Chains A and B, each alone.
Chain A
Amino acid sequence: MEKSLHLEIVTPDRLVLSEKVDYVGAPGYEGEFGILPNHIPFLSALNIGSLYYKAGGKTHWIFVSGGFAEVSDNKVTVLAESAERAEDIDLERARKAKERAEQRLAQAKEKLDSARAQAALQRALARMRVRGAA
């Protein structure tokens, strides 16, 4: 029996992470899920939010948005539109993005605009949460 998982996070711009880990928790489409070694094959869409993994007794946080996670053969592959390690997140930028999104949300007339602003707001909030957790 395998005792560890291989976690790989890829975005269109780069390979964010490729590591041996003990546990992965991810914000699934229908709620958070956790992956331990020898999990059965699993494919899920991810919400905007924080993904975390445990390796060597330490927990690491990563912000993901617009992603998918695939689990098979003790390999967890996350494809995300953007992914940032907690320590790389620019808190100031997230805060500004939050303010901008809130403003847009207040002024948005069309449904489309408000949906976009809502998504931007969620991303900003999730970034701040991830940064705070680290």
Chain B
Amino acid sequence: MPSLKDVKVKIAGVKKTKQITKAMNMVASAKLRGAQQRIERFRPYASKFYDMLGDLASKADSSVHPLLEVREEIKTCGIVLATSDRGLCGSFNSNLITTALKLAAKKAAEGKKVKFYCVGKKGRDAARKTDHEVAMALADQMGSFDFQLANRIGLDVINAYLTRELDEVIMVYGEFVSMAKQLPIALPILPIAPKEEEAAPAAPASNKEYIYEPAVEGLLAELLPRFIKVQLYRGLLDTSASEHAARMAAMDNATRSCDDMIGSLTLLFNKTRQASITRDLMDIVGGAEALKG
């Protein structure tokens, strides 16, 4: 039987932990709201962008642009891995990392070289432990980032692709499905796959005769690199929202476990106290009996 004091100390400790997990839960929920707002704000840009691109793509012979060309021989595969900088968010990061590493192993088995582009500390640390090259590691960015971050990654990836250092690029990120569900997704970024369904809603608008400046092909050449950045940015935003949602769930669980633990420890405390009272009573009664006799 533990002593009364031990149990008391332990209860106090668990209560402190609970305070921390509860606070982290609230911080994560505030940050999640911010991240969701940013996704919301990004939506008008993205939808207008897709409209424009779909409209143009339907008018131009898009096979000419190097970013659209599918290469026959793929020697090097770039993996853009978006994770969080901090832990304590359940299996969120490990899910992403497992997905990325599996993908890397598969590519390596096909005889391709793999290069990692990492955003977030957790992914970077994991990628560094592998034999693959880490071409880019951006840590401490997920806390507050803007389009410039996607711009930076995009420029690097596109340049590497155009100079044939990379032959394909895949992004692994955490898609924010709902509060309770975040999925690790591997999305091919380069070469750009033509998307029929994106072009379809723009069809009625294309009846209008536009003046293009520069000509359609030139505009497309400007739009396509940006399309990659838009996709990267979307991935990053989703990852950030997923991270906070995952942390909220993890901290919620932790808080609940703390409650359970406090409950059972309090029970133990009461039992221990009762036992010691009973023992004392027995002593007193025993002593009184002895005096009587």
Residue ranges of A at the interface with B (Cβ–Cβ < 8 Å): 10-15, 28-30, 33, 40-45, 66, 68, 70, 72, 77, 79, 81-82, 112, 116
Q: Report if B5 contacts A (CB, 8 A).
A: no
Are B146 and A45 touching (Cβ within 8 A)?
A: no
CB-CB < 8 A to A70: which residues of B? 48, 52
Closest to A28 in B: B213
CB-CB < 8 A to B150: which residues of A? 12
Are B42 and A13 touching (Cβ within 8 A)?
A: yes
Q: How far is the CB of B169 from chain A (nearest CB, A)?
A: 18
Closest to A80 in B: B45
For A10, A41, A42, which residue has the most chain B Cβ atoms within 10 angstroms?
Answer: A10
Q: Which of these, A14, A42, A45, contacts B41 with CB under 8 Å?
A: A14
Q: How far is the CB of A77 from chain B (nearest CB, A)?
A: 6
Q: How far is the CB of A61 from chain B (nearest CB, A)?
A: 22
Q: Sort chain B's interface into a size bin.
A: 20 to 34
The 8 closest A-B pairs by CB, nearest first: A44-B213, A12-B147, A41-B210, A45-B222, A41-B208, A10-B45, A42-B211, A43-B210
| 15 intermolecular pairs with C-beta atoms under 8 Å apart | A12-B42, A12-B233, A13-B38, A13-B41, A13-B147, A15-B44, A29-B213, A41-B210, A43-B52, A45-B218, A68-B223, A70-B52, A77-B48, A81-B226, A82-B147
List B residues 196-239 near A (Cβ within 8 Å): 205, 208-214, 218-219, 222-223, 226, 229-230, 233
CB-CB < 8 A to A45: which residues of B? 213-214, 218-219, 222
Q: Report if B264 contacts A (CB, 8 A).
A: no
Closest to B229 in A: A81
Closest to B44 in A: A10
Are A66 and B52 touching (Cβ within 8 A)?
A: no
Are A13 and B222 touching (Cβ within 8 A)?
A: no
For the complex, what is the distance from the CA of A79 to the CA of B233, rounded to whole Å?
15
Q: Report if B159 contacts A (CB, 8 A).
A: yes
CB-CB < 8 A to B155: which residues of A? 116
For the complex, what is the distance from the CA of A82 to the CA of B229, rounded to whole Å?
13
For the complex, what is the distance from the CA of A30 to the CA of B214, rounded to whole Å?
7
CB-CB < 8 A to B219: which residues of A? 43-45, 68
Q: Report if B151 contacts A (CB, 8 A).
A: yes
Are B45 and A79 touching (Cβ within 8 A)?
A: yes
